[in-house]
Structure 1
Amino acid sequence: MTEPFAHLDATAEAYDAVAVRYTEFARDELDALPLDRAVLTAFAELARTGAAGPVADLGCGSGRVTAYLRNLGLEAFGVDLSPAMIDLARRAYPDLRFDVGSMDALDVADDALHGVVSWYSVIHAPPRDMPSYIAEFRRVLIPDGPLLLAFFESEGDPVAAFDHRVAAAYRWPVDDLARLAGDAGFAEVGRMLREPRHGERYRRGHLLMRKDGTAVQGRFAR
C-alpha cells in the first residue's frame, strides 16, 4: 500500500465494515435537522439556476443525501469509496446512479457538474491533501456552479484530528476552510454554523460557495 493512497484504502475498509449499522444510524437524521435541510435547499436553488445538469454527492454513503437532493428537483448521483455503502445505496434507491470512486480523482469531465456536495465526507481528507480535493471539485464544476461542504468545526483552533467513530478524520476552522476554497477559485456565498445537539460533540460547519462566482448577498451564520 503506497502512502498517497493508504488513507483511501483505510477509509473504504472502515466504512465497509460498518456499512449496515452506519446506514441504520443515519437513515432519518435529516428529519431532525432543520438548519441542515435549509442549507441543502439553498444549495439546490443555486444548482437549479440556468440549464439543468448533473449534481454529485461525493462521499454519498448509502445515498440518503443523494435522494434528498433528487427530491429537491436535482439530477443527483452519488460517489463513495466504500463498495458496501454503494451496494446499500443502489438497493435503497434503484432509480438513482451510484458509483464507487474517490472524490479526489473523479471520472468526470471538466466543467461537467452543475453542483457538488461533500456532506461530512471531506473530513476524512488529510489536511495536506485538502487543496487537491478542492481543486478537483473546481475542475468538475461548471462556471458559477455551487459547492457545499459540511464538516466538523474546530471553533477557532487549528485543524485537528479527532476520534471519529469510523475512520481518521479532521475538524477545520471555518475561516481556514473558506480561505482554502477561496485560494482555489471559489467565492463564498454563505455559511451556517450549528451548535451540537444532544449526543453530538462538536459544532457543525457548512460552507456554500460558487466556482469563480460573485458572492451572493447574505450570510448563514451564528
Structure 2
Amino acid sequence: MDTETLAAYNKQAAAYARDWREQDAPSDMYALLKQYFAPGLTADIGCGGGRDTAWLAANGFQAIGVDVSQGLLDEARAAYPGLTFQQGSLPALDGLQRGAYQNVLCETVIMHLEPASISEAVSALISLLLPGGTLYLSWRVTEQASLRDKSGRLYSAFERQLVTMPASGLCDLLFEEDVISASSGKRTQRLIFRKRTA
C-alpha cells in the first residue's frame, strides 16, 4: 500500500468510516455479489470501516474483513464487534491462507497501489480462491495521469490489462462494466472472475 495513502487513512479513520456508513448503500454492487458469490468463506480485502463485511455476514457469507490501516480496523471492530477483522496489505497479503476462500471482494482498493504493484496484487487475490471461487474486483478510474486527493491518497492511472493479465489462464471473466458507482458517484471499473477448477 502507498505510504501516504495509508497515513491518510490512519489519521482520518473515524471520518472515513463515518462517511462510508452514511453514504448510500452500494446496492448495485450488492446485487452483483448476490448473483455471483456462492456460500462459503469470504474475504473482504480493503474492508475499511467494515460496512461491506457486515453486509456479507448479514447475507449469509462467512466473512472476514482485511485492511492495512490499523485505524480503520479499530473503527470496523468498534462498529461491528461480532465480526472478524485482521490486518493485511496488498500486494503481499501475508497472513491469509491461499486456496481457502470461496469468494474474495476487493472493492475500490487497487487504485491506491503504484501501477507496478497492481498485477502482483491481482495474482495474490486470485491465489486466495478455492477452485471455482469468485473474485469481485473494482477500482476507481483515473484517466491520463495518477493523482493524489487533498488528503494525500493515491489514485493511480493504469491500463485494464494490468488486472486481466494475471487472471489469464487461471480464471474466466464472468462480468465487466464501467459504471458510475451508486454509492460514491465516482467512475468505477468492475470485473468478476471465477477461478478455473482445472
Q: Report if TM-score (shorter chain) is over 0.5.
A: yes
Report if aligned partners of 2:91, 2:118 keep a CA contact under 8 Å in 1.
no
CA distance in 2, matches of 1:182, 1:204: 19
Deviation at 1:144, TM superposition (A): 1.6
Say whether 1:163 aligns with 2:157. Answer: no
Decide which of 9, 13, 16 is 2:7's aligned counterpart. Answer: 13
Say whether 1:89 aligns with 2:76. Answer: yes
Decide which of 86, 89, 101 is 1:102's aligned counterpart. Answer: 89
Q: State the AA in 1 paired with 2:12.
A: V
In the alignment, which residue of structure 2 is the partner of 1:121? 109
CA distance in 2, matches of 1:199, 1:138: 26
Say whether 1:47 aligns with 2:1. Answer: no
Decide which of 185, 188, 198 is 1:204's aligned counterpart. Answer: 188
Say whether 1:36 aligns with 2:23. Answer: no
Decide which of 167, 170, 173 is 1:182's aligned counterpart. Answer: 167
Structure index of larger Rg: 1
Normalising by structure 1, we get a TM-score of 0.78
Deviation at 1:151, TM superposition (A): 1.0
| Larger relative strand fraction | 2
* Residues 72/125 of structure 1: CA separation in 2 closer, same or farther (3 Å cut): same
Decide which of 99, 105, 127 is 1:139's aligned counterpart. Answer: 127
RMSD: 2.5
Q: Percent identity?
A: 27
Q: Mark the runs of 5 or more structure 2 residues left unpaired by the alignment.
A: none
**CA displacement 1:120-172 (0-9 Å, x = unmatched):** 11111111111111111122211121001121235xx66x4133454112244
Normalising by structure 2, we get a TM-score of 0.86
The number of equivalent residue pairs is 196
Report if aligned partners of 1:134, 1:184 keep a CA contact under 8 Å in 2.
no
Q: Mark the runs of 5 or more structure 1 residues left unpaired by the alignment.
A: 1-6, 215-222
SS of the residue corresponding to residue 144 of structure 1 reads strand
Deviation at 1:117, TM superposition (A): 0.8
CA distance in 1, matches of 2:44, 2:111: 14
The range that moved more, 76-85 or 202-211, is 202-211
Q: Which has the higher contact order (CA 8 A, sep 6+)?
A: 2
CA distance in 1, matches of 2:184, 2:101: 35
* Residues 55/197 of structure 1: CA separation in 2 closer, same or farther (3 Å cut): closer
Say whether 1:61 aligns with 2:48. Answer: yes
Report if aligned partners of 2:123, 2:167 keep a CA contact under 8 Å in 1.
no
* Residues 177/42 of structure 1: CA separation in 2 closer, same or farther (3 Å cut): farther
CA distance in 1, matches of 2:81, 2:122: 30
Report if aligned partners of 1:66, 1:76 keep a CA contact under 8 Å in 2.
yes
In the alignment, which residue of structure 2 is the partner of 1:219? none
Deviation at 1:109, TM superposition (A): 2.2
